[in-house]
Amino acid sequence: MTEQLDHRLSDVQLAAALVRNAGGLALRMRQRGLQELRDTAAQKSSVSDVVTSADLAAESYVVEQLRRCRPEDSILGEEGAGYTGTSGRIWVIDPVDGTYNFYSGSTYWCSALALTDAAGVWPAGPDSLTDAAVLLGAIYQPQEEKLWLGGTLQAATLNGKPIVVDPCQHVGQLSAGTYIHPKWLGDPQAGGPWQRAAQLPAALRMLGSGSCDLGRVAQGELGMWFQHSAPSWDWLPGKGIVHAAGGDTAVVRVNGLDWFVAGPAVAVAELKAALAAGAL
C-alpha cells in the first residue's frame, strides 16, 4: 500500500513525498517482475519511447494525492492525466522519466514533478508552459537514493545539502548531457544544430533521462545539458532546480525546433549561439 499524504504538508514536503513514493512504487513493480513490465509495455512514438504499467500506476498515485491535498491546483501528467483547477498553479508530473532505462533494468531513471505558476497560460496546452515560473522542482532517483529539490520556493539541495552548478563558465571546460534520437542525426533540421553544439563541450554524456541529467547539472556533476523538443514534464522540474542552484536556462528555436539548454550562464549563451549557427 502506498502512503496516503497529509494535506497539511507544505508544498516542498508534499513534492518530496510524492516523488519518493511514486519512484518507490515503480521500483517495487519492477522488482516483482521486469519481464512482465516488458511484455505489457506499449510503444508510443518509437521503440525507445514506451509506457509501462509502472508509469501508469505511479502517475495515478500522484494524481490521487494531489486531488486530495491540493484540490484547487491543476495537473498535467506525461501519461495523460489532466485536471484544471482554479488556483493558477499547475503540477507537471513525470512518474517515470527515463522509461526506456527503467524498462531495460538500468538505475538511471527517476520520478519528477514541477509546481508552476501557470496563471494565464493553462489550459492552453503543455507547450505553453515552457516559460512558466517554476515554484518548485523535485526529482528522485530511487536506486541511487538521490532527491533534488529547488525553485523559487526552495533553495537547491541534493538530499538536503546545498548544491550549485559547476563554477566553470565556458562550454569548452564543461561536460554536457544531451539526447538526440538516432533518426534525427542524419536530418539537417535537428542533426545540423546538434552537431554544431556537440563539438564544443569537453565531453558528451547521453544517459537517457533528462531530469536525472538536469539534477546533475544543478549539483555540478554535469556541466550543462541540451536537447530539442523537450516536453514540459522533462524540462520544468530540472529547470527550477538549475535556476535555484545559480545556473541559467534558455530555449532557442532553430529550423522549427525548440532547443532547451541549461548550465552556467556563459556556457548557455555559447551553446545557444552554436545551435543557431546550424540554421538552414
Give the domain-ending residue among 134, 162, 190: 162
Inside any domain, residue 4? no
Q: Has residue 228 been placed in a domain?
A: yes
Task: Tell me the C-alpha distance between 30 and 16, whole Å.
Answer: 21
Between 183 and 51, whose confidence is greater?
183
Question: In angstroms, what CA-CA distances link 162 with 20, 97, 245?
Answer: 19, 24, 8
Q: What is the pTM assigned to this prediction?
A: 0.95
Q: What is the mean pLDDT of residues 113-137?
A: 79
Check whether residue 153 and residue 191 sit in a common domain. Answer: no
Please indicate if the annotation marks 97 as binding a ligand.
yes
- Could you report the per-residue pLDDT of 203-213, keeping only the tens digit for each? 999 999 999 99
**Res 50: pLDDT:** 72
Into how many domains does the chain fold? 2
Domain shared by 107 and 205, yes or no: no
Number of H helices, E strands in the chain: 9, 15
Distance CA(102)–CA(99), nearest Å, equals 5
Domain boundary among 162, 185, 202: 162
The domain boundary residue, chosen from 132, 162, 192: 162
Q: What is the pLDDT of residue 127?
A: 61
Is position 24 within any domain?
yes
Q: Do residues 65 and 184 share a domain?
A: no
With vertex at residue 153, the alpha carbon angle to CA 251 and CA 87, rounded to the nearest 5 degrees, is 85
Q: Does 11 carry a binding-site annotation?
A: no
In a domain, 5, yes or no: no
Of 60-64, 131-135, 158-162, 238-242, which range is least confident? 131-135
Are 139 and 206 found together in one domain? no
Question: Considering the domain boundaries, does residue 6 fall inside one?
Answer: no
* CATH classification at residue 36: 3.30.540.10
Task: Clarify whether residues 145 and 208 are in a common domain.
Answer: no
Q: 94 or 103: which carries more pLDDT confidence? A: 94
pLDDT for position 41? 73
3 located within any domain: no
Question: Within a domain: residue 31?
Answer: yes
The answer on 141 and 186 residing in a single domain is no
pLDDT at 92 over 60: yes
Would you place residue 3 in the very low, low, confident or very high pLDDT band (cuts 50, 70, 90)?
A: confident
What percent of the chain shows pLDDT beyond 70?
Answer: 95
- Say whether both 157 and 179 belong to one domain: no
Same domain, 65 and 144: yes
- Mean pLDDT, the chain, as a whole number? 93
Query: Which residue stretches of the chain are H helix?
Result: 11-32, 34-40, 53-69, 99-104, 182-185, 188-198, 210-219, 232-244, 265-276
- Residues 42 and 157 both lie in one domain: yes
pLDDT of residue 126: 54
127 is in an annotated binding site: no
% residues pLDDT > 90 (the chain): 81
If asked whether residues 145 and 184 sit together in one domain, one would say no
Q: Which of 208, 214, 231, 251 is nearest to 80 (CA)?
A: 231
Considering the domain architecture, whether residues 65 and 148 belong to the same structural domain is answered as yes
| Structural domain of 211 | 171-276
Sheet holding 203-205, edge to edge: 203-205, 175-179, 224-228, 257-263, 248-254
| pLDDT of 133 over the 60 cut | yes
CATH classification of the domain holding 202: 3.40.190.80
- Residue 127: CB atoms within 10 Å: 11
Q: Is residue 46 part of a domain?
A: yes
**152 touches 145 (CB < 8 A):** no
Shared domain check, 236 and 134: no
